[in-house]
Amino acid sequence: MFRARFQKLAKLGRRHIPTAPRPDIRWADVVRIEALGTDALGVFEVSVFFSHRDGREARLCVEQKGYDEILESLPRRFPSIPPTWYEEMAEQPWHVERVLYSRDENPVS
């Protein structure tokens, strides 16, 4: 319960103090989404990496504008991502990595 309350306070604070611009995520070109989470420095935080079709990558970090809105939009944009993915990751101790979405560009026939 303490963790959930702390997460809500952290989310409220992030809305008022983003220090970096919103990442350029080209949603239609996303082929893979990976999340890296850790609580090594206090509250659990996740960085999300978006791989695009052309090989470029966009990274979303907690200090960026739109962080919470982008995280919350992932299950809507990519229905294969469960709405509870963040909470599931936060339950893991210390460090966790997870592939949230992967679109196979070269299916095997």
- Predicted TM-score of the model (pTM): 0.77
* Mean pLDDT along residues 21-41: 91
DSSP code, position 15: H
What is the distance, to the nearest Å, from the Cα of residue 61 to the centroid of all Cα atoms in its chain? 8
Retrieve residue 39's tokens.
């609580």
* Mean pLDDT along residues 27-32: 97
105 has pLDDT over 70 = no
Give the CA-trace dihedral at 66, 8, 77, 25, to 10 degrees: 30
Q: What is the pLDDT of residues 45-96, one digit of tens each?
A: 899 999 999 999 999 998 899 999 999 999 999 999 999 999 888 888 778 8
Rounded to whole angstroms, how far apart are CA atoms 17 and 89?
Answer: 24
